[in-house]
């Protein structure tokens, strides 16, 4: 999970460095945020399904 987050953030840094359009950078940012939220939700709910608590 950490590798996917880092890859997404590095991709956004690359888009900024390449001076892509602001729309592309913001779209990539929101995609990474949504994917992180989805992975976090999956990670937490699967842990709770195993009987783990917060």
**Rounded to whole angstroms, how far apart are CA atoms 29 and 16?**
11
pLDDT, tens digit, 9 for 90 and up, residues 14-35: 888 888 888 888 888 898 889 8
User: How much is the CA Rg of the chain, to the nearest whole Å?
Assistant: 15
Q: Is the dihedral of CA 48, 51, 52, 54 positive or negative?
A: positive
- What is the pLDDT of the chain when averaged over all its residues? 80
Residue 51 is predicted with a pLDDT of: 65
Which token pair is 34? 């949504």
Range 43-54 average pLDDT? 63
Q: What is the pTM of this model?
A: 0.65
Q: Which helix (H) or strand (E) holds 51?
A: none
Measuring CA to CA, which residue among 30, 54, 33, 32 is closest to residue 43? 54
């Amino acid at each position: 999970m950490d590798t996917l987050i880092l890859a997404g953030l590095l991709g956004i840094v690359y888009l900024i460095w390449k001076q892509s359009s602001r729309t592309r950078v913001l779209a990539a940012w929101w995609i990474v945020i949504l994917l992180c939220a989805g992975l976090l939700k999956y990670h937490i709910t699967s842990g709770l399904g195993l009987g783990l608590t917060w």
